[in-house]
Amino acid sequence: MASFHVYAGAGDQIVNPVIRRIGWTDLVDALRLGFDDFMAKPSHVVFLCIFYPLIGVVLAAWTSGQGGLQMLFPLASGFALVGPFAAIGLYEISRRRELGLDASWRHALDVRHSPAVPSIAAVGAFLVVMFIAWLLVARFIYIANFGDVSPVSATAFAEQLLATEAGWRLTVAGCLAGFLFAAVVLCTTVVAFPILLDRDIGAYEAVATSVRAVAANPIEMALWGLIVAVLLALGSLPVFAGLIVVVPVLGHATWHLYRKVVQPVRH
């Protein structure tokens, strides 16, 4: 595996990127720069991000048709767990624009030529596992409170959640479990994909760098996670359509956050 740079970087060496302290103004600036990228190169948004809300609509329709209304919220919220991987083409657009290179939408696919592709795939696989694990946990919590019986309708399910003790238990347990999953993903991947595009350092160090970035900036990273959660929630209304704007802005902003948190290589 080492020859494919999954664990270590090129030359099978472990490197330790330098982490910088940031402030809340850096988060605001990262969002501003992300929005600038979005406005400067909007043509790629539909190509890269329309699938995100469309998948949401398809999954919502599927769960409704299969009597799976109870899984609608876990599916919608679970998109945030794979979001860092889904936005990798957006990081590439921001990287190229920063370097003054052609940043048209077709270059988002240039990620496939990166020497770090095996490492990117490894971290991406980790997020997919987290997504599946979250769905299994959410289903277990539902069954523990309501049994293995699907709601008869969305209205009836809403009444169960709001007006019964089991509904409140489900809501609290589900939110706590979702928070834990989101916290793990934030801590392990907040800068993992951007740094792998920028430097071939291996999956292990990319994840370790994310963990160190969060440890060095706990309040700022917690605030960043809250910003992401709120924007994704707002973007999910109505029927995930707002994600067409929210996802690319957050994707571009994540690249700029990486630039602020991780010190560039000195040549």
Task: Please give the chain's pLDDT, 267 residues, in tens.
Answer: 444 557 655 555 567 899 999 999 999 999 999 999 988 876 555 545 556 556 656 566 555 555 567 887 888 788 888 889 888 888 988 998 898 887 677 666 777 788 889 999 999 999 999 999 999 999 999 999 988 888 877 788 888 888 899 899 999 999 999 999 999 999 999 999 999 999 888 899 999 999 999 999 999 999 999 999 899 888 777 666 777 788 889 999 999 999 999 998 765
With contact defined as beta carbons under 8 Å apart, do 90 and 195 qualify? Answer: no
- The pTM assigned to this predicted structure is 0.85
**Two tokens, residue 160:** 């169960």
What's phi and psi for 2, nearest 5 deg?
-65, -35
Look up residue 11 and give its two tokens. Answer: 């030359």
